Structure 1
Amino acid sequence: MTASVKQRQVVTILSAVGLTWYIILWSFGVLGCLIARKRYRLRPRSPLASEVASAVPGVTILRPLKGLDTNLYENLESTFTQEYPNYEIIMSVADKHDQALSVVRDLLTKYPNANAKVIIGEEVVGVNPKVNNLIRSYRQAAHDIIWVVDSGVMAAPGTLARSVDALIGPPSSVLNHSRRKIGLVHHVPFAFSSGGGKLGSKLEEAFLNTNHAKMYIALNTIAIDSCVVGKSNLWRRSDVDRVNGSEKFIPNADQGGSQTGERGLAVFGRYLAEDNMIARAIWHELGQRHELSCDVVRNAVGHMTLSDYVWRRVRWVRVRKHMVFAATLMEPFTESVVLGLIGAASLQHLVGLSAWILLLVHFLAFIFVDLDVYASLAGHPLPAATRWQFIGAWGAREILALPIWMLAMFGSEVEWRGKKYQVLRNGEVVRASGHGDTVPFRPSVHRV
């Protein structure tokens, strides 16, 4: 066999592999689109919303706060207006001079009958400032079901009731006993910015409301592993108090077994992505699955510059590569540009069609599916007044995806809320000094 024949055979095999990958990824995208249509275009009212307080499980809503985030008043108010008869709200700030306190006090005055309070002062249990801010509120929670909601998130009035529905599931039956218990309910974030939002804000909207949501929904539908972002998560404190983040299965988990040694929320203070690690612990250590509610949570992205957007994406790619390296390594091959090039080159070799025509069809189909996902999450099609601006941001996001990934892969230092961290192999982080050194963690307590 001549070298040229062997070369053609290798190219044919690679083209077949490329086409197979292309079909698989498109199947994921279409699945995400179809499930989004089914799940989010109809959100029925939960029967729990009309029950008396004694007939439903109690829920503690934890709101960690720092500074005057965009839309903060409306975001926090959305937890005061939940259509659910039995819940408390605990808002927490680390510093008594935090500007968020003025908004909190206004809401406590507006809703004097709400079961709500604020806790000032943090307990430093790790390098993650969000966990440090939450830990005292977590320990004082009156209820076992905990709903942790980021300050930048707004939830519709029926969200809590429908989420509790999803967590506790329907009445027991033979069918239900054959399925794993639901240990965590989470929500797809739907980003929005004001009309004067900067370029980074528009890119974040285009990313979260289309490709991210599509793949997030598809991965959680297939559910072969944990895949959770932490803007809005509902879980049981009694479950989190049994795990330690090791991801080692507890043999007697179904009978209430626990890991040995330190457990609970505090142990996740060593991670930046504590939400993802809690979800993974519930999945792997307790053998419980996750459920997406039929609600989205609206995420105010504020005035994010292009630089803000780039470094935000770099931060989370660098965190992910130390947690799920293989999946992070494959990310560029799931994005529209690289995937389109793979598909066009494969089909051109195997079928002889023009690569340019194939790329044109690919991108038109991709944007069509992504805009359909947007419509499902938003409850309406993309407004005509912002259509071309959004499509332009979508295109810029797709083009930037590969350069941002490449920048992120070469480095392990990240910056979050003005502090620098070094990401370690297992996804843990340590404070970085700024001179290439790391700062060891020393637990302490700061209370006001």
Structure 2
Amino acid sequence: METQPEPDQSPSLLTFSFAIIGLVWYIVLWSIGLLGCRTGRRRYRMRPRSPLATAPPDSIPGVSILRPLKGLDANLYENLESTFTQEYPNFEIIMSVADEQDQALPVARELISKYPSINARIIIGEEVVGVNPKVNNLIRSYREATHDILWVIDSGVSVAPGTLARSVDLLESSTRTKPPKRRVALVHHVPFVSAPEGFLGSRIEEAFLNTNHAKMYLAINTVSIESCVVGKSNLYRRSDLERVNGSLKPRAHTESDDDQDCTRGLAAFGKFLAEDNMIASALWHELDLRHDLSCDVAHNAIGKMSLSDYVWRRVRWIRVRKHMVIAATILEPFTENLIASSIAAASLWYLFDIPVWLFLVVHHTAWLWVDLDVYESLAGHPLPADRRWWFISAWCLRELLALPIWFLAMLGNEVIWRGKKYEVLRAGEVRGTLSDGNHKGLFTRWRQRDHHYQPLLSNHSDT
């Protein structure tokens, strides 16, 4: 009797394999999200007072707080004042501006007058060491700082009074362990955003940074297998930074690193747009040191940000990131809520015949709940009832915009930052372009509330 050939099972096997891979990927994403949520609950719902807050000034390391200023940021007075009121006995404040006509100067001078007991001063005039205007503004403060520990904090950020003491305690803690652990070279603070003016772009930015971004940021830094730092508020040692050059190539921990032709220290990072991330990566890879998160947040009040501003802000950082970590950037869409849930829904329907609509309802409810729990941990309180629907609406809009923004970002290499246009090059370096800072066609003119730095020829200090 003639036997019939068996039907080809390869399509079913391939579909089954894809379904399994999709389900595994979904479980991995949930594991990361829940890790971020758990970290938020454990680290940020209780902020103990550091013993350094009441220690004698000569018994603790001094800190130089560097504040680069440009223009009138939202809540600028309150932001700067939060560093004057730090519960730490040994610090100085250096505020720097590039232009002697800068509108931030009267605010800085008023605070210096209000707190005469605080060692604070202003430096006027930038030194151009690269294309990054923030680095150019900071370079003189960096060199003139009295102390080795530097706290670089953006002018748009305010912090709790105990932030500095807790951060220094964390920075110094690894040197006191026996046996010594891999030393902490940088302490950073997770951004937490508020949008008091209620513009649509501001609300979307708030919903993104306080939920999905914070959740992933906390999880990645908990696992701590790679550098992941946002530079709104960072503490590190100048002596460490003077040993790195931004190459990310490991260096021996000796004084024999005598490459005299290589620029080191803060000036070496003037060629990067994301100097904060590159500084953190250099400390991690070149010196084999690690980072740690404080239990404090960097509170950032967002001013007037339109929907167009929000879109181009996200485009800017994706374009920078794709030249620094291309694999992670390509993978990014698959970590987003809508694509990940769609893949999981198809996998569960194929494998277990679970209705797609039922799964998606459960998924999105649970995903939103976790995100709101992260918000509550960082804020120290639940989402206020009078803002709940606005916040959830902005959260939904952010989810819908994520994929289109990613595609837009992947199609180009030019970014606009602080009113100037740059082309992003290899490894996150940038160069200025001659074209003006406009996004034409798809969105309106760039109106981002970021600082707009202009070069200044005069170079003197205000004491």
TM > 0.5 between the two?
Answer: yes
Map of 1:439 onto structure 2:
none
Q: CA deviation at 1:140?
A: 0.2
Map of 2:95 onto structure 1:
91
- Give runs of aligned pairs for residues 238-317 of structure 1, distance below 5 A: 238-251=239-252, 253=253, 255=254, 258=257, 260=259, 261-317=262-318
Partner deviation per Cα, 1:385-444 (whole Å, 9 max, x = no partner): 1111101110100110111011001000000111000000221000011289xxxxxx99
- Counterpart of 1:373, as a letter, is V
CA distance in 2 between counterparts of 1:32 and 1:11 reads 32
User: 2:192 aligned with 1:180, yes or no?
Assistant: no
Q: CA deviation at 1:105?
A: 1.1
Map of 1:82 onto structure 2:
86
Map of 2:452 onto structure 1:
none
Query: Cα RMSD (Å) of the superposition?
Result: 1.6
CA distance in 2 between counterparts of 1:259 and 1:8 reads 61
SS across alignment from 1:323: coil
SS across alignment from 1:187: strand
- Counterpart of 2:37, as a letter, is C
- Counterpart of 2:236, as a letter, is W
CA distance in 2 between counterparts of 1:409 and 1:63 reads 33
Q: What TM-score results when the alignment is normalised by the length of structure 2?
A: 0.92
Partner deviation per Cα, 1:273-316 (whole Å, 9 max, x = no partner): 00000000000000000000010111111111000100000000
Contact 2:84 2:115 in 1 (8 A): yes
Q: CA deviation at 1:191?
A: 0.1
User: 2:404 aligned with 1:418, yes or no?
Assistant: no
User: 2:38 aligned with 1:34, yes or no?
Assistant: yes
Contact 1:188 1:296 in 2 (8 A): yes
Contact 1:250 1:259 in 2 (8 A): no
- Give runs of aligned pairs for residues 2-81 of structure 1, distance below 5 A: 5-81=9-85
Find the partner of 1:143 among 147, 151, 167. Answer: 147
Q: Which runs of 4+ in 1 moved over 3 A?
A: 1-4, 255-259, 443-446
Contact 2:186 2:280 in 1 (8 A): yes
Map of 1:440 onto structure 2:
none
Map of 1:351 onto structure 2:
352
Gaps of 5+ in 2: 438-454
Find the partner of 1:100 among 88, 91, 104. Answer: 104
CA distance in 1 between counterparts of 2:255 and 2:87 reads 32
Find the partner of 1:130 among 130, 134, 141. Answer: 134
Map of 2:122 onto structure 1:
118
CA distance in 2 between counterparts of 1:275 and 1:397 reads 25
SS across alignment from 1:60: strand
Percent identical residues: 63
Distance 1:435 1:92, change over 3 A: closer
Map of 2:393 onto structure 1:
392
CA distance in 1 between counterparts of 2:338 and 2:228 reads 24
Q: How many residues align?
A: 437
User: 2:160 aligned with 1:156, yes or no?
Assistant: yes
CA distance in 2 between counterparts of 1:396 and 1:336 reads 12
Map of 2:459 onto structure 1:
447
CA distance in 2 between counterparts of 1:289 and 1:259 reads 24
Gaps of 5+ in 1: 437-442
CA distance in 2 between counterparts of 1:231 and 1:99 reads 21
Partner deviation per Cα, 1:329-384 (whole Å, 9 max, x = no partner): 11111111111111111111111101111111111010000000000000011111
Distance 1:338 1:257, change over 3 A: farther
Q: What TM-score results when the alignment is normalised by the length of structure 1?
A: 0.95
Map of 2:226 onto structure 1:
225
CA distance in 2 between counterparts of 1:427 and 1:361 reads 39
- Give runs of aligned pairs for residues 332-347 of structure 1, distance below 5 A: 332-347=333-348
Contact 2:67 2:152 in 1 (8 A): yes
Map of 1:193 onto structure 2:
195
Q: CA deviation at 1:5?
A: 2.3
